[in-house]
Amino acid sequence: MELKIYRMNPMVPFVDYATKDSACFDLSACLMDRPSAKGFYANNEPVIYVVITDNSGKHCIKIPPRGRILIPTGMVFDIPKGYCVKVYSRSGLSVKKGLAMTNGLGIIDSDYVEEVFVPIINHSDQELVIYHGDRIAQAELLLAPQAQVAYINERPQQKSDRNGGFGSTGVSK
């Protein structure tokens, strides 16, 4: 299946799979030719994060502790009808830096044809910096069939010996 991607300007990093066997492709921050990005402080107040140029000439944005931001990718996906793109946090950023997606998992529907943003939260106690071109998330193209919903008048019957959820199957075997 082909996923067509429109790059909004030539400075947008190309999408790439990290290895030949990677399940997901990487999404990168696109901070060139942008004055700012939308976000929220830890207290839910809206904020505009300013894109700055550091001492080495790299465009970057600083995220305060527990700050949330919509990181632009500079890309518009042309997702085939019947498919979606799922966006995930990068495990290394989450574990090593405390950066994760605010919603855990993002879903981009085939009828969304605007710029893709990645909602990031800084879970750490220190300000973190994202640079133009940093890999900030990973994504995959998936088949997305719509279920035919049928309402029933009787509660479904138990299908196994499982009793409940939220830890009902235990921690170890």
User: Is residue 169 scored above 70 in pLDDT?
Assistant: no
Number of folded domains in the chain?
1
Residue 161's pLDDT is 78
92-145: pLDDT as tens digits = 999 999 999 999 999 999 999 999 999 999 999 999 999 999 999 999 999 999
- Predicted TM-score (pTM) of this structure: 0.87
- 159, part of any domain: no
- 171, part of any domain: no
User: Is the distance from CB of 30 to CB of 19 less than 8 angstroms?
Assistant: no
Residues 6+ apart with CB under 8 A from 8: 30, 74, 75, 76, 115
User: Is residue 170 scored above 70 in pLDDT?
Assistant: no
- 4, part of any domain: no
Question: Can you give the residue range of the structural domain that contains 122?
Answer: 10-143
User: Is the distance from CB of 85 to CB of 64 less than 8 angstroms?
Assistant: no
Tell me, what CATH number does 128's domain have?
A: 2.70.40.10
